[in-house]
Structure 1
Amino acid sequence: MTTAPEQTEAAADEATRDRILRAGMDCVTRYGRAKTTMRDVARAAGLSRATLYRHFVDRGALFHAIREFERRRDLAAITERAGRTTTLTDAVAVVAEVLAATGIRYRQGEHLAAGDEDLARYVALRLGRERERVAGMVRPYVRRAAAAGELRPGISETEAEEWLALSLAQAGSLTGVRSVDVRDPAAVGGWLARMACAGLCVDA
């Protein structure tokens, strides 16, 4: 059975897109968001700029695609790992660890501390949406905790969800924190979960 030319071309386009995204992720990690150029990404991917622009019309489109790629990967990791937990604190630790790992991989805290104004504006402008995204990530585990009687009396699911979203939204860009090693995703996850759940859970 032969493969249709259209399928072969689509597969090649998908492979090229993936190659560009991974090169873009590497460039953002090394140079920071503000200093990463389309030329840098094309060079890192081993492609011409014309090929790069055929897939992404500008930096904004490329960064958006990188962000969505990372979000899908984060959510898959959280769903797989947090689904095996039995307490809200453990589930929140997984969420925070995954978010922290992504931020550490991109050296967000370092770039912010070094004065990356483009990244700082981006983080500030997207903070509300990031809280919404994190709220969606913790929602199933808050519901599970409420059903199990794990939440303290008087604390609603909405309150717990919003507090956790506020607490975890910046897990990947922590700087200047002395009580935890911000370069260690597991340490950040455990620390944030312990602090965030202390007032929410009966046995926390």
Structure 2
Amino acid sequence: MEDMTYWKEVWERKGRDTTKSLEVLDGYEDTTANVAEIAKNIIKELDIKETDRVLEVACGAGGLAQYIKCKEYVGVDYSSSLVKKHIELLNNSVLTGEANDLIFKDKTFDKVFCFGAFHYFPNQEYAKKAINEMKRVAKKAILIGDLPITSHREEHLLYNMNDFKDWKIIEGYYNPNRFNVVYNL
């Protein structure tokens, strides 16, 4: 899918939902994902400390953010309705923006992560730009999670572990057809 219009409409609609359930707002309602466990794994893999500045790319309404305890948490998402909902529910610092064009200065954050969003990207070129942006703004480490090898939806962008040779590859946290990667700078 070369155009993100479909997915942007899906996530804008989600953000306008009246529910306060972060799992529903962030799209985990029809999965076996345990968001608290996923956050715990991300914290462990990135070694997030209370003194860290952390950026979450594609933060949604804050399903994972609610578990991240650090000096400064910042989120960015392309859905303005989810950004608004995230601020309303968690009062975090969250901005509307694209993963492939982050507005932050180089090396602004100690740790940067993106979980459960790369399969919504329009193509591999966009994904590569997003990875380069994450590397640019990170000081210490990056985690990209929930990368699908196969999917039940043809709209999902798929990934190959061989494309992440310089990264630590980790099994999917809840889906055996997905994997996670960590890059230490």
Normalised to the residue count of structure 1, the TM-score between the two structures is 0.25
User: Which structure has more helix as a fraction of its residues?
Assistant: 1
Q: In terms of Rg, which structure is larger? A: 1
Normalised to the residue count of structure 2, the TM-score between the two structures is 0.27
